Chains A and B, each alone.
Chain A
Amino acid sequence: MIGGLFIYNHKGEVLISRVYRDDIGRNAVDAFRVNVIHARQQVRSPVTNIARTSFFHVKRSNIWLAVVTKQNVNAAMVFEFLYKMCDVMASYFGKISEENIKNNFVLIYELLDEILDFGYPQNSETGSLKTFITQQGIKGQHQTKEEQSQITSQVTGQIGWRREGIKYRRNELFLDVLESVNLLMSPQGQVLSAHVSGRVVMKSYLSGMPECKFGMNDKIIIDKAGKGGVTNEAGKSTSGKQSIAIDDCTFNQCVRLSKFDSERSISFIPPDGEYELMRYRTTKDIILPFRVIPLVREVGRTKLEVKVVIKSNFKPSLLAQKIEVRIPTPLNTSGVQVICMKGKAKYKASENAIVWKIKRMAGMKESQISAEIELLPTNDKKKWARPPISMNFEVPFAPSGLKVRYLKVFESKLNYSDHDVIKWVRYIGRSGIYETRC
């Protein structure tokens, strides 16, 4: 179980130190600083073992969050907890920065007391936490006994993530499908590896205790529906070619897993506010939004010619944004001349790369950059390793092909129906590690 949690700034100074168990001494704080933060070689492993004590850390901008334990804990649980902890803090005071942490000192200790008990993670749902841990000071006087007992029953009850009696004038629902597409392509255009990791993030403002049902074009669900023969016509028309194969997925705690296991239907009572409904990964039939065609020619020992063409590969009506192509240059580059038709390109010496930025680009278009790189002859015989060309972008569709088929809301007690709920759906596809070898 978790023995303690420390938060450090970039210098390794301790901002927050909360110890849950006696087996963790004060020296653990220093051990992590010396061996990880100030380590001579950058520590890449998120788990470090020092003197039979395990440290699990994540880094958010310049802030280190480290969990320490002497026991054999489930590492996945610890990291899940750390991410949750980051989410909670972000929802309370925004960005996790040194200044914010110092300003919310008391709040963080209060949160830590609540979400971890003797090293065991407890309720970490922001929505319900906010009902009793507030930034506005103690509301004790205004809280009636009833309300207090309600908190207890809610926190300990079956649906810990939603309190009863929520009312909105407008019942609204926002649904975002956020995907990041990862690719490694050979210079000849052969896909070496590609996958999409996606998240479905929801923001719900619904009254009462509504029951929601979420449907998407998952192959298994659609095949099942097709076989059962009890599906509407719209479902039939989409089944077959447009369904996608999801490799693995995880759900928010509110989703009824038993129902998913038996009927493959995602039904849940949503928490109030923003939350992540599910995460998934696909590896088949990915729509690659961009194709990068590199051409590198070495002219003698002191010159290198690079030509890179990018092609957008989606509907012409859609617009990709924030496109950035990064072309690595050799370590002995002494001068660079760049010509590009579109966007802006610049040689960034500090990063050893040419960075080419394009603000917007429509589908089925093509653009090109060419660069001449001058090299300084060195006495080192080492050959340039030719790192891959990487790319960043944002597109308004889901590269995995995922489509939201329906999101139904049932609230039997209150008198609003599915039709009365205003629903918004948005797809965003971003680049993860999107690289082409040259």
Chain B
Amino acid sequence: MPAVSKGDGMRGLAVFISDIRNCKSKEAEIKRINKELANIRSKFKGDKALDGYSKKKYVCKLLFIFLLGHDIDFGHMEAVNLLSSNKYTEKQIGYLFISVLVNSNSELIRLINNAIKNDLSSRNPTFMCLALHCIANVGSREMAEAFAGEIPRILVAGDTMDSVKQSAALCLLRLYKASPDLVLMGEWTSRVVHLLNDQHMGVVTAAISLITCLSSKNPDEFKTCVSLAVSRLSRIVSSASTDLQDYTYYFVPAPWLSCKLLRLLQCYPPPEDGAVKGRLVECLETILNKAQEPPKSKKVQHSNAKNAILFEAISLIIHYDSEPNLLVRACNQLGQFLQHRETNLRYLALESMCTLASSEFSHEAVKTHIETVINALKTERDVSVRQRAADLLYAMCDRSNAKQIVAEMLSYLETADYSIREEMVLKVAILAEKYAVDYSWYVDTILNLIRIAGDYVSEEVWYRVIQIVINRDDVQGYAAKTVFEALQAPACHENMVKVGGYILGEFGNLIAGDPRSSPLVQFNLLHSKFHLCSVPTRALLLSAYIKFINLFPETKATIQEVLRSDSQIRNSDVELQQRAVEYLKLSSIASTDVLATVLEEMPPFPERESSILAKLKKKKGPGAVSVELEDGKERGELNGGGDRGGDAAIAASNASTPSPSADLLGLRSAAPVSGTAPSAGSLLVDVFSEAGPAASSAGVNDDGFLSSAPPSAASEDPAPPLPESDELLNKFVCKNNGVLFENQLLQIGIKSEYRQNLGRMYLFYGNKTSVQFVSFSTIVSCPGELQSQLNVQTKTVEPLVEGGAQVQQVINIECLTDFIDAPLLNIKFRYGGALQNISLKLPVTINKFFQPTEMAAADFFQRWKQLSQPQQEAQKIFKASHGMDTEVLKAKLLGLGTALLENVDPNPENYVCAGVIQTKAQQVGCLLRLEPNAQAQMYRLTLRSSKDTVSQRVCDLLAEQF
């Protein structure tokens, strides 16, 4: 677009702008602008029509004021008028104003669209271009709707000027990006593709951008463009630098077009047609050859243009990944760039090489540059280039050069930039593990890693070390020795202490023969670090100590002393305190055999994919070169998190033959205590139950520990329910906790909670005798139709109940629909050889599933009236069996589960309640009214609900309560 020509300059505008620039303060500027705005308003208001020139001038001023950051709320109409002018400058300013200021929902948009349409249909190319630019600049949906059909026609029409075609192609591209659903190429597709053959290079350049965008969305439709693009490319590449005249940039023929062509080709697989392919390979070779030629100019633009094509060509070669010859050549070319003066080139070369390294054809070729890359890692000034070098090293690493690369990366880590350290650490850890032939090397590397960059070593890395050490017998002794030596450093990282504590705890015995690392020395070394560590590490160390007691009985006294000290056994941290207490008890009560079983060496870990790799992928995103690990193993949650890690470890040691697939912590819930385990298991329970409240809260209540025995099959039928069980049931209508049953032998406590249609009940079976109950079993059954109304799930209980002990059982209840009967609980056990058989009704009644509902008096009575059908109401008049104490009554009604509504009934003596019974099938609203008569000691109870059975049942239940 030509700028405003000299003779056409607007003096008023220039004066105004210079005035603004000369303003000394913001206030002065605002004053000047206000003055100008008032002037323009009066001019636009004036009755006499303005000529095109002054209109243009004022619109320009408004635009300038708008660009200074002030609101403009007038002048749009004048700008639209300018569009219909025949003068280029006026039209241009009009379009400028519109593309800057008019928003899409303006009411003027129809006028604007009309003007644009006129310009598009005019034969004047400059006007057409202006209109197309305006459409592209606004790019709104309305514009797309109005012109998406028109522009492709202009684009492919034979008589359209080249410059207009260019604009049309770019305009269409913009509309397509803004609203792809509106731009439908359909019939135009082939003709647009043929624009690649256009005589005019500008048109080709514009068209190719459009085609690249379109073909990335639907590649099949534009498939034909491949051969055209190849032929176009070959024509450009083979042309002499003088052939293309205007399109030769510093002796490089059409660099932009070449790059775009190469990029377009990257959207497609290698061409199948042999001829086309041959031609393309030829082109690529020519490009690579040209890179070798001496530069025709010393100007940086020349080399930039040349390299741009080259890198685009290399990307294409990598994309095809099928021409070994080209790949190797590309690699060599990049190798040259690795030592180039230009930092950007080095960066690009490293980046491209990273992708080359993953190709099987060029991997070896890339490896030849290892020295250069290592050098780059060491000497490069720019951190982003160093990062790329590290990436490349990681990508080119294999078994042959792993030791060298890992060593280099380790040494670089000491000086590495903080931002990339964590990533480097992960990479070193992965490489060390992946290519470890000799595991002592692996252990050395990782320990070095922790020493050098301990802060950046994530949990996963040290988990992994321990996993590998435990799984590999041959390296354990060496690991113990190395760790011991590493710990002797005066200041060592906490991660090192963790690894050290764990490995010495497991394999300290392997180096105990040496007097320099005798058990006591080991212990003292570990304990010297103890106070400097965080809580999770300390917890881990405590576990290591108890393992020491097992490994070296001679340290028992010392360690017990430590555990007994106030700083452990009364530690403010619950976890540490609990461990200290438990370990102390364990070590003092259990015999050596038991200890040896409990604190056995950790079993090998199941093999899984490395979690480090997953972490690196997450961190790196697309840049990471993901390589499968052949011997990857998941470190899992071993000792992780600090919560009960120690328990888990012990539980794991309990199981002498763990199933290989079992998750470590899963052992707690599954607890396959088999073979010799039961004795150890019960002993543990014993220990815990004596160890005081701290232990029992963690150990005994943990149902996983206790639910290991399968229910022994009952030989006898369940006994009929006890005669008094109905009475027992009534006791629990209005309360949830209490003693359900008691005789000379057994006491059953109950604790229950309900939420909506779900309930959970805890039953506590207490053995009142001093003799243990054998083959103790419980069965909950739902007789008759109750089966379909209630869903009851129980967990099995231990078959043995020791004298004086208590076991717990959890019952989950789900209410499917309303019900009347209660489930039966049958308990069987042998006491001194005699079979005991007790049947009880479980206190699960329909009112347990009440949700209280608060409502106002008017509301209540409205609903009360709605439930007026005779079968919906249940009423009972009965004599009071207890005293008529207000508070007791209230408590009972609340215990029922309904909301007690105050100030609803006109008679304050009466009680009114409302609630909704939640079942899985439906919700039953329930209203209740209790009218006591103090003189007669009588009650009248009325219940209304939307379901007759519910009213009746609740009424019956409640009548027994008062």
Give chain A's interface residues, CB within 8 Å of chain B: 10, 42, 62, 331-335, 349-352, 374, 376-380, 382
Contacts and interface: CB of A to CB of B under 8 A. Distances in A.
B24 interface: yes
The 6 closest A-B pairs by CB, nearest first: A349-B38, A334-B45, A380-B73, A350-B31, A350-B35, A334-B41
B866 to A, nearest CB: 50
Nearest to A382: B73
Nearest to B42: A334
B860 interface: no
Q: Which of A332, A352, A376, A380 has the most chain B CB atoms closer than 10 A to its own CB?
A: A376
Contact of A376 (B32, B74, B107, B108): B74
Contact of B45 (A42, A62, A374): A374
Nearest to A377: B74
Interface in B149-207: none
A349 B35 contact: yes
Contacts of B73: 331-332, 378-380, 382
A335 B34 contact: no
B156 to A, nearest CB: 38
B24 A10 contact: yes
Interface in B58-107: 73-74, 76, 106-107
Contacts of A377: 74
B44 A376 contact: yes
A332 B37 CA distance: 9
B38 A334 contact: yes
B38 A378 contact: no
Given A10-B24, A380-B73, A351 B31 contact: yes
B106 A335 contact: no
B404 interface: no
B39 interface: yes
B34 A376 contact: no
Interface in B19-54: 24-26, 31-32, 34-35, 37-39, 41-42, 44-45
Contact of B76 (A10, A62, A379): A379
A331 B44 CA distance: 14
A62 B74 contact: no
A210 B332 CA distance: 101
A335 B76 CA distance: 20
A156 B34 CA distance: 56
B15 to A, nearest CB: 16
A376 B72 CA distance: 13
Interface of B: 24-26, 31-32, 34-35, 37-39, 41-42, 44-45, 73-74, 76, 106-108
Contacts of B41: 332-334, 376
Which label, helix, strand, loop or mixed, suits the secondary structure of the A interface? loop
Given A335-B45, A374-B45, A379-B73, A42 B26 contact: yes
Q: Which of A350, A377, A382 has the most chain B CB atoms closer than 10 A to its own CB?
A: A350
B25 A333 contact: no
A301 to B, nearest CB: 12
Which label, helix, strand, loop or mixed, suits the secondary structure of the B interface? helix
A379 B107 contact: yes
Contacts of A42: 26
Nearest to B44: A376
A349 B107 CA distance: 29
Given A62-B25, A380-B73, A382-B73, A350 B45 contact: no
Given A10-B25, A334-B38, A376-B44, 13 more contacts: A42-B26, A62-B24, A62-B25, A332-B73, A335-B42, A349-B35, A350-B32, A350-B38, A351-B31, A351-B34, A352-B34, A374-B45, A376-B74
A329 to B, nearest CB: 9
Contacts of B76: 379
Nearest to A347: B38
Contact of A332 (B74, B107, B108): B74
Contacts, number: 49
B38 A333 contact: yes
Contacts of B39: 349
Contacts of B37: 331, 349
14 contacts: A62-B24, A331-B37, A332-B41, A332-B74, A333-B38, A334-B44, A349-B39, A351-B34, A378-B73, A378-B74, A379-B73, A379-B106, A379-B108, A382-B73
A377 B41 CA distance: 10
A62 B28 CA distance: 12
Nearest to B27: A42
Q: Which of B31, B32, B45, B107 has the most chain A CB atoms closer than 10 A to its own CB?
A: B45
A334 B32 CA distance: 16
A349 B74 contact: no
Contacts of A382: 73
Nearest to A381: B73
A342 B224 CA distance: 86
Nearest to B73: A380
Contacts of B45: 334-335, 374, 376
Nearest to B26: A42
A379 B76 CA distance: 9
Nearest to B69: A40
A62 B24 CA distance: 10
Nearest to A329: B38
B34 A349 contact: yes
Nearest to B33: A350
A414 B469 CA distance: 105
A377 B24 CA distance: 33
A334 B75 CA distance: 13
Nearest to A380: B73
Q: Which of B24, B25, B38, B76 has the most chain A CB atoms closer than 10 A to its own CB?
A: B38
B949 to A, nearest CB: 63
Q: Which of A349, A352, A380 has the most chain B CB atoms closer than 10 A to its own CB?
A: A349
Nearest to B39: A349
Contacts of A332: 41, 73-74
A333 to B, nearest CB: 6
B102 to A, nearest CB: 10
Q: Which of B25, B37, B44, B76 has the most chain A CB atoms closer than 10 A to its own CB?
A: B37
Q: Which of A42, A62, A377, A379 has the most chain B CB atoms closer than 10 A to its own CB?
A: A379
A376 B25 CA distance: 29
Contacts of B25: 10, 62
Nearest to B76: A379
Nearest to B30: A350
Contact of B34 (A10, A350, A378, A380): A350
Contacts of B106: 379
A335 B42 CA distance: 6
A382 B35 CA distance: 21
Contacts of A349: 34-35, 37-39
Nearest to B41: A334
A352 B38 CA distance: 8
Nearest to A335: B42
A222 B427 CA distance: 89
Contacts of A331: 37, 73
Nearest to B45: A334
